[in-house]
Amino acid sequence: RFDYIAFGPQLHDQPKVRELLAASLDYEGFQKLIFAEGLPGCSGLPAEWSPGLKCIYQTIRDKEFSPRVEMPKNLEYAYSLYAVEDLKRSAEWFQHSWKKNLGWNVKLKGMENKVILDRLRHDPPPLFRRALTPEFPLCMSVLDVFTSNHPDNYIRLKNPQLDDLAKKLMGLDSLSPEAKKLCLEGLSYLIENRYIVPLGPMSFATLKKPKFKNLIMNGLYQMDLTRLEAE
């Protein structure tokens, strides 16, 4: 999965606000909160897709982190109640970080999954969390979601260069030099311009009875049961 905090269209013309919201998070602290093996702020996608991709905290300069910016009105962070405890705990942690480091009181809004999807389609909030499961285990499937005409482009990003880049990736082997270059360029654009804050690689637990074997998890974290056997 590709989990990230997204900045809605209301913040597209406020790059300094996006910068502050991204810079004021304690990524190491969040790693401890969710017991992640990988450090949040990194893409969480296979490293071989985009060698050299910087994590978001590596692109933040000290001079960019200054709380001398007024908090936008109605700054709200929306999240799904699908996995209520984990997502609520993360949301409260983000809220605390922004209050502590910026003095900003960001309102939290937990919604049922169907409700938040309807909100994202018609009136995206300024901040929201998304968990993207790519259609295919390819960088193209991730970048395509942020192209101008994609129905799941909830941040309403309109960038012809990114659209063209995603098209060029279609049909390419993800491990080819050209695909790696394009993937790096596309992901870097999203991260360095603070359209998203990736939340890094995460681990998930699956409960399985001991009598079953040969359960395979593919690159999309989906179960492949073609070889499943019961002792």
Q: Which pLDDT score, from 0 to 100, does residue 192 have?
A: 93
C-alpha to C-alpha distance for 77 and 129, rounded to whole angstroms: 8
C-beta of residue 183 within 8 angstroms of C-beta of residue 48: no
pLDDT along the chain (231 residues), means of 10: 91 93 89 78 89 90 68 92 80 93 94 93 95 85 95 96 95 90 96 93 71 73 76 78
CA dist list (Å): 2 to 28, 66, 183:
19, 29, 14
Q: Which pLDDT score, from 0 to 100, does residue 82 have?
A: 74
C-alpha to C-alpha distance for 152 and 149, rounded to whole angstroms: 9
Nearby residues of 151 by Cβ (< 8 Å), 6 or more positions away = 121
Q: Which pLDDT score, from 0 to 100, does residue 210 have?
A: 82
Q: Which pLDDT score, from 0 to 100, does residue 2 have?
A: 84
Q: Which pLDDT score, from 0 to 100, does residue 225 have?
A: 77
State residue 229 phi and psi, 5-degree precision.
-130, 150
Q: Which pLDDT score, from 0 to 100, does residue 107 have?
A: 96
Pairing of strands 212-213, 216-217: unpaired
C-beta of residue 110 within 8 angstroms of C-beta of residue 87: yes
Q: What is the pTM for the complete model shown? A: 0.85
Pairing of strands 2-7, 127-132: antiparallel
CA dist list (Å): 16 to 42, 54, 67, 194:
21, 20, 10, 9
Q: Which pLDDT score, from 0 to 100, does residue 182 have?
A: 97
C-beta of residue 208 within 8 angstroms of C-beta of residue 225: no
Q: Which pLDDT score, from 0 to 100, does residue 65 have?
A: 63
The burial of 149, by beta-carbon neighbours within 10 Å (0-12 exposed, 13-18 middle, 19 or more buried), is given as exposed
